[in-house]
Amino acid sequence: MDAQRSGWLMKRISRFLGYLILILTSLVLIAPVFFMVVSSFKVDAEYLSFPIRIFPKIAQWQNYKLVFTMTPFAKIALRTALLAISTATITAFVSSMVGYAFARYNVPGSKRLFGIVVAMLIVPFIVILIPQFILYSKLKLTNTYWPWILGALGGSPFYIFMFRQFFLGFPKELEDAAEVDGCGPFGIYWRIFLPNAKPVFATVMIFATNSVWGDYLTPLLYLSNSKTLLGVALTTAFRNPQGIEIKTVTLAASVLYIVPLIITFFLAQKHILKGVVTSGLKG
């Protein structure tokens, strides 16, 4: 009886500790975003002050106007979005097709090739990125968007892996039936596998779009200031005539920069979590 009671007490305490950890962690994780948003409404003199003032005296909505007038922010954002979405679309289609082939075709050499896909997951991207840059600059393709498009056309090992894991779970009968109905291999991929891979497709689309939208290194390497993407523009654009950064305007731009990401995440949250769970790990 006593052991049961203490067990019950332990359970209550561990439960309470669990919630405490969850709530404290949430607060810590939200803090930077919270400060980012409130400080984006401050004037630069209030950015950091002693004693601390968390909220601005008067909300400076004009910071958000300045974002658009100090740079062609809308134009850069549109350019970044277009590049991100087109790159992601290409990469998702190619990766799903390759992933389908790896999941369904057990032919001479297929296992070895898949071994290469997996090995590519652990090749540090930076070791390839810089020589790629040397090559593209010899081909006079720097300061264009070709490196993104050409890169997408080959698919990506990580996404190929995800699709393959997902397709492995598809019942064999489905494609047998389609084959009897006269569907070719591409038809089976296009009409049966792809339409049934929506969670993974959505996940890959979002991951791939975000990775271009949020990228700093690649645009820094490839593009001049007049052609650059949002990730780099954010760090260089908002300066006064003396060249000193206006930090609160940078913050306002940062808020605008992350809002689309957060909205898409909320819209697709279910898909993403499902996509990761069903494809990321099995096998």
Partner 1 sequence: MATETLTPQSIYGQVKKAGLTRSQKRTLTFYTLVLPWIIGFIFLSVFPLVVGLLTSFTNYDGLNLETIKFVGTRNYARAFDDADVSFSLMRTVLWGLLNLPLWLVVSFTLALILNQDVRGRGIFRTIFYLPSLIPATAAITAWRIILERNFGMLNNFISLFTPEPIAIGWLSDYSLQGMTGVALWGGLGSGMIIFLAGLQGIPDELKEAARIDGANGLQVFRHITLPLMTPVIFFQLVLGLIGAFQQLNLPLLFTRVGIASASVPPRPIYLYMIHTWSQIMDQGRYGYGTALLWMLFIGILILTGIVFWSEKYWVYTGATEEGGK
Of residues 86-145, which lie at the interface with partner 1 (CB under 8 A)?
Answer: 94-95, 97-98, 100-102, 105, 107-110, 113, 116-117, 120-128, 130-132, 134-135, 137
With CB under 8 A as the contact rule, the residue among 57, 74, 186, 198 that binds partner 1 is 186
Q: Which range binds partner 1 by CB under 8 A, 47-55, 57-65, 69-77, 168-176?
A: 47-55
- Tell me which residue has tokens 């003199």: 45
Residue 269 is which amino acid?
Q
CB nearer to partner 1: pick between 65 and 237? 237
Burial degree of 220 (CB within 10 A; 0-12, 13-18, 19+): middle
Tokens read off for 125: 């991207």
With CB under 8 A as the contact rule, the residue among 33, 82, 174, 267 that binds partner 1 is 33
Task: Give the C-alpha separation, 283 to 135, whole Å.
Answer: 36
Q: Is the peptide bond prior to 131 cis by the omega test (within 30 degrees of 0)?
A: no
Q: Cβ contacts of residue 249 below 8 Å, gap of 6+? A: 63, 66, 67, 70, 238
Residues numbered 207-266 forming contacts with partner 1, rule: CB under 8 A? 210, 213-217, 220, 231-232, 234-235, 244-245, 247, 250-251, 254, 257-258, 261-262, 265-266
21 makes contact with partner 1 (CB under 8 A): yes
The angle formed by the CA atoms of residues 132, 135 and 137, to the nearest 5 degrees, is 110
> What phi, psi does 245 have (nearest 5°)?
-65, 135
Other residues' Cβ atoms within 10 Å of the Cβ of residue 278: 17
CB of 122 to partner 1, least distance (A): 6
Burial degree of 142 (CB within 10 A; 0-12, 13-18, 19+): middle
Contact present, 134 and 196 (Cβ < 8 Å):
no
Q: Cβ contacts of residue 190 below 8 Å, gap of 6+? A: none
Residues numbered 152-171 forming contacts with partner 1, rule: CB under 8 A? 153-155, 160
Task: Give the C-alpha separation, 37 to 254, whole Å.
Answer: 9
CB nearer to partner 1: pick between 102 and 201? 102
Burial degree of 280 (CB within 10 A; 0-12, 13-18, 19+): middle
With CB under 8 A as the contact rule, the residue among 189, 193, 201, 222 that binds partner 1 is 189
CB of 11 to partner 1, least distance (A): 8
CB nearer to partner 1: pick between 19 and 61? 19
CB of 215 to partner 1, least distance (A): 8
Q: How many residues bind partner 1 (CB under 8 A)?
A: 90
Residues numbered 54-83 forming contacts with partner 1, rule: CB under 8 A? none
CB nearer to partner 1: pick between 131 and 226? 131
CB of 75 to partner 1, least distance (A): 18
